[in-house]
Amino acid sequence: MSLEAKSEKFWNLVNRDAEVRQVSTGFAFTEGPVFSRRGYLLFSDIPNEKIMKWERGQLTAFREKSNRANGLTFDHQGRLLAAEGGGRVTRTEKNGAITVMASEGLQGPNDLVYAIDGSIYFSDLSGSRVYQITSARGGVGGGPPKGEVRIAAETPAPNGVALSGNQQQLYVADVKTTMVKVHAIKADGSLDGGRDFAPLRVDGLKTDEAGNVWMASRDGVYVYDAGGEHLGTIKTPEGPSNCCFGEGFRGLYITARKSVYHVPTLVPGTRTF
């Protein structure tokens, strides 16, 4: 059984007969999926230091020598943002040039999310910090040396980060404390101390417009509502690392070890780019 409901509300999010389908396989370790408005999926193959592109069944390398790129997302101009485990956060410009958005003092950037105000939040797992790249640096028209990169939160081992549907909160998954916390975002973009949300060891996570949180953990994607109730789990053949919503922010792509999977959904994901 690929779908395990803990609440009848789960069936408002996924059809009872929905199937988890393998999209592609044969990688070393997949991570960081993101679906472009132009109709293709990007994801990281971390050990092979590649960002892969999957478009209508065709697989190509989008970027070689990716500096151990992990989490990926886009900004409002459709430029790719990457959290590179090699110690930096980058933006790929439309001409293919790489702009380093943050690097000083970073140990292992892991995941990132682009906010509606043009700022970027990212986790530095090895550095035990979550950072904010301010909108003057990360937003449309922004870039170094403008703006700043500042510490937004400190936690032992931050992994996945995701904005709530209303973009007023940031979810942070810590793999050492095995707790997902949710932080209110203050007017200046900084975070409050946060509160415990879900007692899970979560890698990557995403939210939907209804306020639910989709979290890659152990043997599947665990779905919790905004109040912290476990609604159900999408079981995957391989342990998942991350997920993203697909075309039109519908359907869920799941990166899991050597493969990428897909499952249809009934609710749209949060639009962050």
Q: Which pTM does this prediction carry?
A: 0.97
Query: CA of 257: how far to CAs of 6, 18, 43, 145, 167, in Å?
Result: 26, 22, 12, 37, 30
> How many degrees, rounded to 5, is the angle at CA 224 between CA 221 and CA 225?
145
Q: What's the pLDDT score for residue 140?
A: 86
**Per-residue model confidence as pLDDT tens digits over 154-196:** 999 999 999 999 999 999 999 999 999 999 999 888 899 999 9
Structural domains present in the chain: 3-263 (2.120.10.30)
Q: What's the pLDDT score for residue 1?
A: 58
Q: Please, which residues bridge with residue 125 across strands?
A: none
**Per-residue model confidence as pLDDT tens digits over 91-128:** 999 999 999 999 999 999 999 999 999 999 999 999 99
Q: What's the pLDDT score for residue 141?
A: 86
In this structure, what is the dihedral angle of CA atoms 97, 145, 118, 63, given to the nearest 10 degrees? Answer: 20
The C-alpha atoms of residue 255 and residue 243 are separated, in whole angstroms, by: 6
Please identify every stretch of the chain with a pLDDT value under 70, giving residue numbers as ranges: 1
Look up residue 94 and give its DSSP letter.
T
